[in-house]
Every structure is written in structure tokens, then in C-alpha cells.
């Protein structure tokens, strides 16, 4: 009998780790990157490829944050529709962002090939599943908007939809052939290995305690050392810690939990997402569904699992599984884990240049695998050229989100109540 426990599957499935070396003494570099996730590593690799010396500081270990704990979907675009992006940002800037994020999955898979990363990548697309008629209308709108922009998307219905999803409980599914899935921890660790091969300095267990300008350089201090650099990239996202930067006030934290089964086999299991896509449904408090390389069923949703008893998380997973995939019978759940998301009120990211030679980004709203990859490289290109045209968004001043702690509390309370209703079969 498997003991249901708290552990991130992607850590278990990624045995390779980066040797931990903490910063001690003084290090000089052209650029100091703060944050060892996908954004920071992608920026560092681009800079190294262009001949810059780079020192990367990670407060914990590579992949500790959202980069190693997410669902592993390699999705195009933002959570909101492309027309809505234009409505918020304006025609020129909105379409620029839509284009960049539409091409982002291709860049992720290109980066995997470029650095020879083994992260169980599959570029078979993703499925956005309609849980009711309103959800189907939403998907029709998304299909039309993306097709106007030349994207390879298709709304599946009827038998074709059932064949792809493995369930008859959805009325349609938007297949986005640009997308795919990865093991996100393996992707992040693979980027870190590439950084070291290219000569970058990587220090873990080295949280930043102070960032200040000193003459023509930036001084980045940790408990036992400091980095002197001409330029700095802040890429800590939702896991920003300490008082050394205003960035953590530009978003509010949300959470996302996942539950993984033991490896499944047999005809009923094989029917689930048989063509290799990852998926999520159109509920406001969505459920994500995917399989891993060993055949596990992974379910996820917005909210924390770490503050709930194991029986509650198991009951929620049972409810979702039995609704979508009743032919599986009783499923044995193996582990659960929670990650943190940096949300913004309009669900769009922000890029900042608070001072010369200092750039930062926040507000991925749960799409870090693709967004982090292209934004990291774009920030690096800006530092190399001082040309803001390399960025898919213009810089903004740091803007404080009002009452971030209260927003986080209300979001988490709402998610928890919804999940309780699912467990009690009051809602689904």
C-alpha cells in the first residue's frame, strides 16, 4: 500500500542535481542574475553565449520555486484571450505580446534541443477542455481569435474530442498544436547544467540580502559574500524574499497544488490523453489533467494542499478522477505538492527597469515555462543592446498591487470553499 505523502513528483523524477556551492567572498561579473528558475537561467545562457561573464544567485536550489513545481504545460499565449490582451495593451503592443507568446512553445523546444536537455518533452499540443456549454462558447472564441492570427488551433468535438481527452464529460476541447508538456524540474536543471558548461558561476543557498548601486557597479550582497556587476537581472517571481527589492509588491501570491497517482496501466488508463497532450478545463477554479512518462495521472487545481489534511486532498482527487475517468475504478494516489504563482489583477506580466543596468520581471500568472524562457532571453538581449525593441512589453515603473495579502487570502479562501464543494458533490 502506497503511503500518500507530500513530495514534488518532478523532484523524484529528476535524480540529477546541481552540486550546491554557496557564495563566499567577492565575485566580479558582467551580469549578476538573481533567481535560479527558468527566467534567470534563460537570461544567463543568452548572456554567456554573447561573451558576457555571469554569476547567478539562487536562495535555495535550482528549481525550488515555480520553475520546478508547475504542471509542466508548455502553453502558447496568456490565460486571457488574445483579443483581451489587445484591449488591455492596445493594438500594437497587444499584438506584439500575442506574437511573442504564441511562438514561445517553439522556443522552449528549441532550447531543449540546443542544450540537449532530457526532460521528457512532448510537442504534441495541449487540450483546453470545455466543462459545459459556456466553456464551449469560450473555446470557440479562443479558436477564432487565434486562427485569425495564424495559429494552429482546432476545436475538437464529438468522437474526436472523446478520443483525445479520454472522457465523454467534456463538450469540446481546443487543441493547440503549438504546445506540449515537459518535466519542468528536469528542464530547469538542464538549463543550469548548460550554464555551467558555458562557464557561468552558479551559487545556491545564497539568498540576496542587499542590492545597492556603488559607483558604476551594482553590489549584490548575501550573508557570506557579494557580487559586483555592471548589470543585474531580478527573476525571482512569486518566490521573491526579503526587503531588498520592491518587486515583491508588484503582484500578489496565489497557489497551485497537484496530486499524482501511482503509475497506471491497462486499457482504461491508456485511453486518457492517449495522444500525449496535457489539459485543463474551463472552470473558473480549473482542474489540470496530464500523464507523466511513467503513466501516472496528475490532477491539479488552484489553491494550497499544504494547509489541508491528506484525506481532503485524496477526496478531491477521487472526485475529479471519478467524474472524468470513472472506468479507472479506484485510483491509488501517491503524492501531492504545492507551488506559488505571482498573480497580477489583469493577468498580464510586467517588466521593470527601476534603474540603469537593473531589470526585473513579475506576474507570469502561472505560465512560467514558456513566458520565462522568452522573457529571460529578451531581458538579456536588452542588456546586450540597450534596445527595448527586444522586449515583448515596454518597461513600467514598479506598481504596488493594493492589499496583496488580503487578495491572496480571499483567493485561497474561495478556492478552498470550491474544493470543499467538489468533495461534497455540491459543485464540480
Which CATH number belongs to the domain containing residue 171 in this structure? 3.50.50.60
Residue 298, pLDDT score: 98
Is the Cβ–Cβ distance between 19 and 201 less than 8 Å?
A: no
Give the integer Cα–Cα distance in Å for 25 and 369: 33
Alpha-carbon Rg for the chain in angstroms: 21
What DSSP character marks residue 4? P
Give the integer Cα–Cα distance in Å for 126 and 165: 10
Residue 424, pLDDT score: 87
- The answer to whether position 206 is within a domain reads yes
Q: How many domains in the chain?
A: 1
Full-model pTM = 0.97
Give the integer Cα–Cα distance in Å for 418 and 416: 5
* pLDDT tens per residue, range 73-119: 999 999 999 999 999 999 999 999 999 999 999 999 999 999 999 99
Q: Report the alpha-carbon angle 56-60-63, nearest 5.
A: 80
Element (H, E) at 335: strand 333-343
Enclosing domain of residue 151 = 5-423
- Over residues 208-218, mean pLDDT: 94
What DSSP character marks residue 248? G
Give the integer Cα–Cα distance in Å for 235 and 39: 6
pLDDT at 247 over 90: no
Residue 390, pLDDT score: 87
Q: Are strands 297-302 and 252-261 parallel, antiparallel or unpaired?
A: antiparallel
Give the integer Cα–Cα distance in Å for 81 and 84: 5
- The answer to whether position 50 is within a domain reads yes
Give the integer Cα–Cα distance in Å for 213 and 168: 59
- The answer to whether position 428 is within a domain reads no
- Over residues 67-74, mean pLDDT: 97
Q: What are phi and psi of 147, to 5 degrees?
A: -65, -35
Smallest CA-to-CA distance from 20 within 68, 73, 58 is with 58
Is the Cβ–Cβ distance between 333 and 317 less than 8 Å?
A: yes
What DSSP character marks residue 327? G
What is the band of 280 on the pLDDT scale with cuts at 50, 70, 90? very high
Helices (H), 50-167: 66-69, 82-89, 91-102, 104-115, 133-148, 158-165
Residue 259 CA: distances (Å) to CA of 102, 140, 262, 301, 337: 29, 30, 10, 9, 7
What is the band of 400 on the pLDDT scale with cuts at 50, 70, 90? confident
- With 0-12 / 13-18 / 19 or more C-beta atoms within 10 angstroms meaning exposed / middle / buried, residue 81 is middle
pLDDT at 133 over 90: yes
- The answer to whether position 367 is within a domain reads yes
pLDDT at 1 over 80: no
- Over residues 124-145, mean pLDDT: 97
Is the Cβ–Cβ distance between 13 and 337 less than 8 Å?
A: no
- Over residues 122-143, mean pLDDT: 97
pLDDT at 231 over 80: yes
Which of 156-160, 245-249, 342-346 shows the lowest mean pLDDT across its residues? 245-249
- Over residues 216-223, mean pLDDT: 95
- The answer to whether position 264 is within a domain reads yes
- The answer to whether position 22 is within a domain reads yes
What DSSP character marks residue 366? T
Is the Cβ–Cβ distance between 278 and 127 less than 8 Å?
A: yes
Average pLDDT of the residues of the chain: 95
- The answer to whether position 84 is within a domain reads yes
What DSSP character marks residue 387? -
Amino acid at each position: 500500500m502506497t503511503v500518500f505523502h507530500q513530495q514534488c513528483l518532478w523532484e523524484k523524477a529528476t535524480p540529477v542535481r546541481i552540486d550546491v556551492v554557496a557564495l563566499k567572498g567577492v565575485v566580479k561579473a558582467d551580469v549578476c542574475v538573481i533567481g535560479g528558475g527558468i527566467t534567470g537561467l534563460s537570461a544567463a545562457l543568452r548572456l554567456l553565449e554573447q561573451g558576457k561573464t555571469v554569476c547567478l544567485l539562487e536562495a535555495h536550489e535550482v528549481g525550488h520555486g515555480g520553475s520546478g513545481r508547475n504542471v509542466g504545460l508548455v502553453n502558447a499565449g496568456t490565460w486571457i484571450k488574445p483579443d483581451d490582451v489587445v484591449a488591455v495593451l492596445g493594438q500594437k503592443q497587444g499584438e506584439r505580446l500575442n506574437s511573442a507568446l504564441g511562438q514561445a512553445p517553439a522556443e522552449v523546444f528549441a532550447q531543449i534541443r540546443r542544450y540537449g536537455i532530457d526532460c521528457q518533452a512532448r510537442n504534441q499540443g495541449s487540450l483546453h477542455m470545455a466543462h459545459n456549454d459556456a466553456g464551449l462558447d469560450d473555446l470557440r472564441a479562443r479558436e477564432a481569435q487565434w486562427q485569425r492570427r495564424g495559429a494552429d488551433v482546432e476545436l475538437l468535438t464529438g468522437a474526436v474530442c472523446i478520443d483525445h481527452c479520454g472522457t465523454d464529460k467534456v463538450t469540446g476541447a481546443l487543441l493547440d498544436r503549438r504546445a506540449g508538456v515537459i518535466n519542468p524540474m528536469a528542464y530547469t536543471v538542464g538549463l543550469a547544467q548548460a550554464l555551467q558548461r558555458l562557464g557561468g558561476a552558479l551559487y545556491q543557498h545564497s539568498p540576496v540580502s542587499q542590492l545597492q548601486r556603488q559607483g558604476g557597479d551594482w553590489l549584490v550582497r548575501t550573508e557570506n559574500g557579494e557580487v559586483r556587476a555592471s548589470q543585474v537581472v531580478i527573476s525571482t517571481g512569486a518566490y521573491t524574499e526579503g526587503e531588498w527589492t520592491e518587486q515583491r509588491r508588484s503582484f500578489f501570491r496565489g497557489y497551485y497544488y497537484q496530486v499524482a497517482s501511482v503509475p497506471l496501466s491497462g486499457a482504461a488508463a491508456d485511453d486518457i490523453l492517449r495522444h500525449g497532450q496535457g489539459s485543463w478545463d474551463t472552470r473558473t477554479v480549473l482542474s489540470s489533467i496530464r500523464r507523466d512518462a511513467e503513466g501516472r495521472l496528475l490532477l491539479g487545481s488552484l489553491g494550497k494542499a499544504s494547509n489541508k489534511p491528506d484525506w481532503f486532498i485524496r477526496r478531491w482527487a477521487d472526485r475529479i478522477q471519478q467524474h472524468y475517468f470513472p472506468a479507472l475504478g479506484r485510483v491509488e494516489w501517491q503524492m501531492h505538492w504545492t507551488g506559488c504563482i505571482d498573480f497580477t489583477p489583469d493577468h498580464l506580466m510586467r517588466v521593470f527597469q527601476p534603474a540603469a543596468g537593473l531589470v526585473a520581471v513579475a506576474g507570469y500568472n502561472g505560465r512560467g515555462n514558456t513566458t520565462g524562457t522568452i522573457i529571460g532571453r529578451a531581458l538579456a538581449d536588452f542588456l546586450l543592446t540597450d534596445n527595448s525593441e527586444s522586449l515583448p512589453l515596454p518597461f513600467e515603473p514598479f506598481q504596488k498591487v493594493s492589499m496583496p495579502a488580503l487578495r491572496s487570502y480571499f483567493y485561497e479562501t474561495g478556492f478552498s470553499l470550491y474544493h470543499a464543494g467538489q468533495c461534497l458533490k455540491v459543485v464540480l
